[in-house]
Structures are given as structure tokens and as C-alpha cells.
Amino acid sequence: MDRRAFIGTMAALLYGSGCAGRVDRTTATVDVTGLWEGSALAAVGHGTLELRLEQPGSRVQGSIRNYEAMSACATGEGPLEGTVADDVFSFTQTNSPVTGEMRVASEQMSGVGSGHCGRFQLTLRRVNTSSSPAPKP
């Protein structure tokens, strides 16, 4: 076997063995697209949240809106970026230090978040499968 053939064979073997054992940890088994509403409960109080999400693949983009007492702990609203891996949705509000990780089960998701005021519990339910605003009557 000449040198070029040997190098090509070795490269193919190394590449193939590396790919064969790799597991894609960003596979999304749920779709979080839509409008989600729910609550955030922290030691300093509670608040109502609204998430508008779009999910192309495992990436998520959208917005977060925070109402009531929790507004002292986080920016009231802003853009959100995240990912879905298996059934876990992780996000960051890009204009504040708010982050979260929730397990998605059908039309509900729950988990924990953190921000200016520390950690808080999140519980949301999907109210619309479209991320677009609902039409006005």
C-alpha cells in the first residue's frame, strides 16, 4: 500500500470511529413553540410570566414578560434564547441575568430559574401553539 492510500485509510478509520460513538445531546424530543403562561415563586414573592417561543430544531428564540412582584428581581420583559435537549428547555433572558431550566411534559413545563433575587420555581402551561400574538376581537 502506498503512503497516500495508507493515510487515507487511517483518516477514514479515525473519522468513522469518532462519529460512531458520538451521541447527539441536543436532540429535541419536545416542541416548545407557542405562548406559555405561568408563575415564578421565590422567597421574595411571586410573579406571573409569559413566554412567546419559536423552536427551529433544538434552538429556541422568543421573549419573556414578567408581571407583578417578581419585576423587582428581573427585567420586566426582553428577548430570550435557549435550547431544547430531550425534554429539557434551558433559556437565558438576553437583557438580564435571568436563566432557567424546565422539564417539558406535553402542554406544561416546570423547573427552576435564577436572577437578581436568587432562585425561583417556574411552572408554566401552553395556552397557544403559535408564538404570534392572539388576534384582537
Q: What pairs with residue 52 in β-bridges?
A: 35, 63
At the second CATH level, the architecture of 34-128 is: Beta Barrel (2.40)
Predicted confidence at residue 87, as pLDDT, reads 96
pTM confidence score: 0.73
11 vs 3, which has greater pLDDT?
3
Write the CB contacts of 81 (distance below 8 Å, at least 6 apart in sequence): 59, 60, 61, 91, 92, 94
Kindly indicate the confidence band of residue 137, based on its pLDDT and cuts at 50, 70 and 90: very low
Predicted confidence at residue 1, as pLDDT, reads 56
Residue 75, pLDDT above cutoff 80: no
Q: Per-residue pLDDT averaged across 12-22, rounded? A: 44
Predicted confidence at residue 129, as pLDDT, reads 84
Q: Per-domain residue ranges for the chain?
A: 34-128
What are the φ/ψ torsions at residue 99 (nearest 5 degrees)?
A: -135, 165
Euclidean distance between CA atoms 60 and 16, whole angstroms: 31
